[in-house]
Copies of this chain bind each other. A is one copy, B any other.
Amino acid sequence: MPFDPSSLRFDTNGLIPAIAQDAETGEVLMMAWMNAQSVARTLETGRVTYWSRSRQSFWVKGESSGHLQHLVEMRVDCDRDCLLVLVRQEGPACHTNRRSCFYTAIRDGAETEIMKPML
């Protein structure tokens, strides 16, 4: 069946969560939001393109930092209300310069930093 981005289930703001996962290592890198057009642009360009809720604009991941996310494969979940994007990530995915945004673990009831910024 041909894929139509408008067939996804978007929230009341027209957005769908997209989880970025390193296609090679399986590491979950980040979660951000897409609208129908950023889904289409991601598929067309091969560069993962989110919708920035704070700036209310398209956000080609890495466009300013150089830390591009190259699309390897997009997947849709059973409810069609969440996306998984397998990517090849250049450098850090996180704005803190860490490889992944999920660098804080809860261990024994306390927050523990488990990842250092990349050099």
Contact = CB atoms under 8 A, between A and B. Distances in A.
A91 interface: no
Interface in A51-83: 73-79, 82
Interface string A91-112: 0001110100111111101110
Closest 6 CB pairs of A and B: A26-B26, A77-B101, A75-B102, A84-B102, A31-B82, A74-B106
Given A26-B27, A27-B26, A73 B19 contact: no
Contacts of A77: 30-31, 101-102, 104
A31 to B, nearest CB: 4
Nearest to A75: B102
